[in-house]
Amino acid sequence: MLLSDLLDLIKKGNSNFISANIVEDLNIEDAASLDEADNHQISFLEENNTLKEKLDLTKASAIITCNNHEIVSSLKKLEISNIIVKNPRIAFAEVLNCLYKPINFKTGIHDSAVIDKTAIIGADCHIGPNVYIGENTVIGDNNHILPGTSILGNVRIGDNNIIHPNCVIYEYTTLKNNCVINSNTVIGSEGFGFIPKDGKWVKMPQKGGVKIMSFVEIGTNCCVDRPSVGFTFIDEGTKLDNLVQIGHGVKIGKNCAFAAQVGIAGGAVIGDGVILAGQVGVNNRVKVGNKVIASSKCGIHCDIDDGMVISGFPAMNNKSWLRSSSIFKKLPELAKKLRQLDKQ
């Protein structure tokens, strides 16, 4: 695709185009990171990226970047075509979607698929090899259900979803529209509910379900458990990385983002726009407010107000955590001095 065509695409996109300097209208064959890009490839550079110090080493034919005077001046001197936008990452994502077309799955049901006679399959669906679909399940239009996936009974799936290989969707799960469920994820498995009695554990039946709204994306090897009654709920636009555990009865708001190995215990309530970094843990029945940001390995044991940035274990205000962590390594020395003072 010609660079000028990609420029037209970016102008029409959501990255807030500012200006462009096309040195040569080359054919762009591929995209790559700045340090690995070659001729006829396009890359992107953000203002805070350390690679800007090595611009003279790149072989990229074009670079999408921000309106930073230092970067733009360097690109001009190096005679590298550049496209200036407010959000280079958004523009680069739009370019990737243009350069790399998704696999076109053929409409139809593979001969090896097992589908209960009471199930309803909508128009233009792709049902791959060895898929199982249980009784009274309703699947909407234009869904791609890839090999080895099992969808049990009484499931409701909307339109335009992609369910990747070897997923399991348990009974009484609802999946709305335009969702992506990546491989080996399990939705609606039994919640971890046991009652202690006489030194043993009595199982609490998990008879609820899971409701996942539109535009949700779930990574590989995630688990979303169902509760004993009611529903585990994930609102629209939320994104889960790989290896995320959502406990029974959890309620998650809109447009959240959880990185790998986040674990949320049963009954927790997460607000809208919450960002949880890798390995964050949330205690059961805790309420996390809207637009909270929790840094990696944060342990959330109590309710968190809207808009807070938290760190540490147990979680505290990020600024307090930074001050505290700078003191931790000095604790042995401080303890030694305190013991010496006690002896005086």
Active site amino acids: 248
- Residue whose pair of structure tokens reads 């800007």 in the numeric block: 52
Question: What phi and psi, each to the nearest 5 degrees, are found at residue 343?
Answer: -80, -20
**Residue 272 token pair:** 């809208």
Amino acid at 182: N
Q: What is the dihedral of CA 257, 271, 217, 108, to 10 degrees?
A: 180
- Residue whose pair of structure tokens reads 């995209």 in the numeric block: 31
Give the three-class secondary structure for 118.
coil
Q: How far is CA 70 from CA 25, 37, 45, 76, 231, in A?
A: 24, 21, 12, 10, 52
